[in-house]
Amino acid sequence: MSSVKLFSGTHSLYLAEKIAGFYGKSLGQLTIQKFSDGEISPSFNESVRGCDVFLIQSTCPPADNIMELLLMIDAAKRASAEYVTVVVPYFGYARQDRKDKPRVSIAAKLNANLLMAAGADRLMTCDLHAGQIQGFFDFPVDHLDGSAIFVPYLKSLNLDNLVFAAPDVGGVGRARSYAKRFAVEMVVCDKHRKRANEIASMQVIGDVEGANVVLVDDIVDTAGTICRAAEILMEKGAASVRAVITHPILSGDAYEKINNSVLEELVVTDTIPLKNSSQKMRVLSVAELFAKAIRNIHDHDSISALFI
């Protein structure tokens, strides 16, 4: 079998080092030079000829992270890597996955096209905003599930009268899968937006009286939805509200909103590095999950055993 080599982009180095540690291999030597005008120029400092190369980089803003990954793919292919897998813990622009109004782009599809055009052979990611984005790619996509990280943690809390909640209608499927796993009920917070990142109204569908509620979502951006949902759930009689969310984008005044919210805690993963810290936030690592997936893919073993 071809040898495995792991490389990291600038933005995800903190996570790539942990993934490499769990895999039992050091990160490969890669230099990413930046010209004075901001142009990016990656170069591999070791041979990747005939190797199974894994490039680790989340594609969250700024756009340099995406461009850097594309150039890394191109450099690996031109250096005769046998197989290039892009490991994208957080797949950016996934919220733009359809035309929800006239004359807009479908950025998730454009990102998929760019990765394919650059020469990637496979994508490994976690908790896409919409599962159907996998269909945008003409090569295999390994879509890891954040529940493998969150479920053991939630079990350790031993919460009684547990109820799972979707912060919006789009997250019903995700919340339902958790509810089935724990054999408990779920509720839905139905929200209406005036415009992006601004909630006009919200109501709870279901009973949360006396329940310990866990909100489930894939991303937390401005934290407006999750904090408002927690507030309404408490008004409806919930005993406590906490949230488990995979990707902590946390833009604007999100940290302030979380600190001032009624949330018991916000549990996130390290797919995106946190800009600040908060006493209400707990970070669980996806490094071991990705390391196991990389090993199984290289060994041509199934990764379904990694899912809950």
- pLDDT bin (cut points 50, 70, 90) of residue 234 is very high
147-284: what CATH class? alpha beta
- pLDDT bin (cut points 50, 70, 90) of residue 304 is confident
Cβ atoms 137, 98 nearer than 8 A: no
- Which residue has 């041509």 as its token pair? 300
Q: What is the CATH number of domain 4-145+287-306?
A: 3.40.50.2020
Q: What is the DSSP string of 113-170?
A: HHHHHHT--EEEEE--SSGGGGGG-SS-EEEE-THHHHHHHHHHHT-SSEEEEESSGG
Q: What is the mean pLDDT of residues 234-262?
A: 96
Q: Tell me how far apart the alpha carbons of residues 106 and 121 are, in angstroms, rounded to a whole number.
A: 22
Cβ atoms 181, 151 nearer than 8 A: yes
- pLDDT bin (cut points 50, 70, 90) of residue 203 is confident
- The candidate with the shortest Cα–Cα distance to 288, out of 24, 91, 52, is 24
Which residue intervals of the chain are DSSP H helices?
13-23, 64-78, 107-118, 147-157, 172-182, 224-235, 254-259, 287-298
The predicted-structure confidence for 75-122, as pLDDT tens digits, reads as follows 999 999 999 999 999 999 999 999 988 999 999 999 999 999 999 999
Domain boundaries, the chain: 4-145+287-306, 147-284
Phi-psi region of 212 (alpha: psi -120 to 50; beta: other; left: phi over 0): beta
- Catalytic (active-site) positions: 191
The predicted-structure confidence for 117-175, as pLDDT tens digits, reads as follows 999 999 999 999 999 999 999 999 999 999 999 999 999 999 999 999 999 888 899 99
